[in-house]
Amino acid sequence: MRSSLILLFLQLWGNVQVSVSQNVTCTELPYVPHAYLSEETERAQYLEGHVIHFTCEMGYISGPTIRYVCTNGGWVDIHKGPCYLRPCELPDDTPNGYYQLIHGAEFVFGSTIKYFCNEGYQMMSRVDTRTCMLNKWSNHVPICEALSCEPPPADGRIKINGLLDNEEPILPDRFLTFGCDDPGTYLNGSSMLICGKDGKWDKPFPSCEDITCQVKEMHNHLSVAGLSTANKTVKSGHTIWFQCNSPYILDGSEAIECLQSGEWSAPFPTCTKKCEVTGVPNNVHITPNVRNNHVRTGQKLRFTCRYRGHFLRGDAVVECLADGQWSAPFPTCGDPLGCDSPPPLADGDIKGSFRFQYSHGERVEYICQNLYEMLGGPFQTCENGKWLGTMRCLRPCTVDADVMSRHNIAFKYKRYDKLYAPHNDEIEFKCVTGRPYGTLNMRSRCIDGVMPLPTCR
């Protein structure tokens, strides 16, 4: 035992191999995690007192050298170790960003960190991770730069305010305004864009577009000048002209212009068929004057007789319709016409004799039945084949006992069970016995057969 201790001491201080017994050997090597046997101490068997050295694997380190000595057929550790992962210095920070450990438990060999950028900044480096190597971190520190929005595309037609002259990046919260200076153009899109914190514009870029007017459907017989058949739109300031194929005439403006508002200066015209003015007798006068014996749709002609004593036979006003036809035949002028028997009067009769034929200028008198009052009249006159004059008979009102009993009233001054009152006549009532309360006005007036009655309660 004493000799073994002496050998161990010598090995520790002088690394001297002393053999006490040449018969004791060590064969199976001790297990040292993450370490391997040094080449200079590697052999098939070891005699008592022999010392072996272990080296840590790559990425691992130990304190003092790991050594074992062979004693009594077994290994005794002079310094056991262990091997532990080689640590790395703290990684460098990146301005405007931060890192996080994504592999490993601490900053040791093989650990990996990933860099992130703060809000408003973007990663400019292609590689954003670093790994702990033997003596340093891999890769360079990633770079975070402020987010910026893409500049608007070059467009000579659009005016942009807010761009920097030195082509500096457009940072978040900066805004640009857009407009169109060229006449005949308009801004298609938003007039103001704001650069967001994500480096993207809040709206699409606008553009300057030509102001145009839409060509509408046109009448089949309408011919157009200043417009190609393929065009469906026309730029502002452009004028087109119209005319109609015979026998149609233009109804509307001969020329219209596309305005800056995108609207036409006037509605699209249409073509209407002309109405012919023919067969008018010489003794009939027409207003207004008609040129070329044709007028357009909607135009009205007025007719009068040229000679004294003549009367117009037919409509005095005739209108040209859309199909080229007249609203009525043209009238004629001549001696006045007589009239057939006069029209009947409801609730009335003709006073005097009755005939089936009357001459121009003759008149008849009407009379209403008993208790009926005439409104208008009382004459109708034969005027060139027509009876002129209006009247009607207004009905009387009937008040009887049954009606009054339902209202709890009676005649105030008369003691009849039934009474007829002509139009516009008044009757005063009173409440029956036991019904002292009535409406405020106990007088009623007859209006064309209707008399509202008061009520007592």
pLDDT tens for 390-440 read: 999 999 999 998 999 999 998 988 777 788 899 999 999 988 887 777 667
- Name the percent of the chain lying above pLDDT 90: 40
Which letter, b or e, does each residue of 270-305 get, where b requires 16 or more Cβ atoms within 10 Å of its Cβ? Answer: bbbbbbbbeebeeebeeeeeeeeebbebeeebebeb
213-273 shares the fold of 158-210: yes
CATH topology of domain 158-210: Complement Module; domain 1 (2.10.70)
CA angle 177, 200, 142 (to 5 degrees): 130
Q: CA-CA-CA-CA torsion for 393, 399, 400, 403, nearest 10 degrees?
A: 120
- Report the pLDDT averaged over residues 104-124: 89
**Is the confidence at residue 95, as pLDDT, over 70?**
yes
Pick the CATH number of 2-85 from 3.30.360.10, 3.40.50.300, 2.10.70.10, 3.40.50.1400: 2.10.70.10
pTM above 0.75, yes or no: no
Residue 360 has pLDDT above 50, yes or no: yes
Class of domain 97-146: mainly beta
Question: Does residue 225 carry a pLDDT above 70?
Answer: yes
For range 294-307, the mean pLDDT: 90
Portion of the chain with pLDDT greater than 70, in percent: 94
Return the pLDDT at 438.
64
Specify whether the backbone of 303 is left (phi greater than 0), alpha (psi in -120 to 50) or beta.
Answer: beta
Amino acid 379: pLDDT = 95
Architecture of domain 213-273: Ribbon (2.10)
Residue type, 277: V
At the top level of CATH, the class of 275-334 is mainly beta
| Domain ranges (residues) in the chain | 2-85, 97-146, 158-210, 213-273, 275-334, 339-394, 397-445
- Average pLDDT over every residue of 89-117: 92
In this predicted structure, which of 157-166, 183-192, 229-238 has the lowest mean pLDDT? 229-238
Residue, of 87 and 9, whose pLDDT is higher: 87
pLDDT interval class at 11 (50, 70, 90): very low
Kindly tell me if the per-residue pLDDT of 97 is higher than 90.
yes
Report how far residue 435's alpha carbon sits from residue 408's, in angstroms, rounded to the nearest whole number: 7
On the question of pLDDT at 20 being above 80, the answer is no
Residue 341: predicted pLDDT: 92
b/e burial code for range 247-269 (CB count within 10 A of at least 16 → b): ebbbbbeeebbbeeeeebeeebb
The Cα–Cα gap between 181 and 430 comes to 88
3.40.190.10, 3.40.1410.10, 2.10.70.10, 2.60.40.10: which CATH number matches 339-394?
2.10.70.10
Q: What is the C-alpha to C-alpha distance for residues 103 and 94, in angstroms, rounded to an integer?
A: 19
The predicted pLDDT at position 15 comes to 43
The pLDDT, as a whole number, for residue 7 is 42
Token reading at 380: 């109708």
197 dihedral zone (left: phi>0; alpha: psi -120 to 50; beta): alpha
pLDDT confidence of residue 447? 94
